[in-house]
Chain A
């Protein structure tokens, strides 16, 4: 069920090429992560829409292979 952090980052960057992605492995088990994603593509979008973009980038892995990914998204200042 686990998924390496660099794979998560690669998937997010494939969909949001300008994104700055910071991933923290919360439990050290490769299954509970916290990610901060900053991308200009989030500008003008609601938080729900921003998270949906990230979930779409993960192509169905969220809620499946990837059990816990705490997300924080924002557009660059």
Chain B
């Protein structure tokens, strides 16, 4: 397992309780699906870190292999892959996202 991309992802998702791999940045998302996840996390007042896969082709491929998931964005909470845009949206709408974040010890500001 001397794959530097895998090591990078592993250390990022361990170091950052809420880590989002996306196209663009939180300030300037470059894809509607990425933008939606940023919007949800921002709305919930959850602190998160992002990595822009468009800046790094190895990361873009690596993250898909890492999670066996073919699309971006990908949200990781407490080192675990939580889902892409559809799952995050569905969990947000049902209230499960808040519960999942709180269970992992992530503070959610939204009432």
Contacts and interface: CB of A to CB of B under 8 A. Distances in A.
Contacts of A52: 68-69
Interface stretch (A1-9, A12-20, A55-63): A55-63
B68 A51 contact: no
Interface stretch (B14-22, B81-89, B103-111): B81-89
Interface residues on A, range: 10 to 19
A62 B68 CA distance: 12
B90 A63 contact: no
28 contacts: A47-B83, A47-B87, A47-B91, A48-B69, A48-B81, A48-B82, A48-B83, A48-B87, A51-B69, A51-B83, A51-B84, A51-B86, A51-B87, A52-B69, A55-B69, A55-B70, A60-B70, A62-B70, A62-B71, A63-B64, A63-B70, A63-B71, A64-B70, A68-B33, A70-B85, A70-B86, A71-B86, A72-B90
Interface of A: 47-48, 51-52, 55, 60, 62-64, 68, 70-72
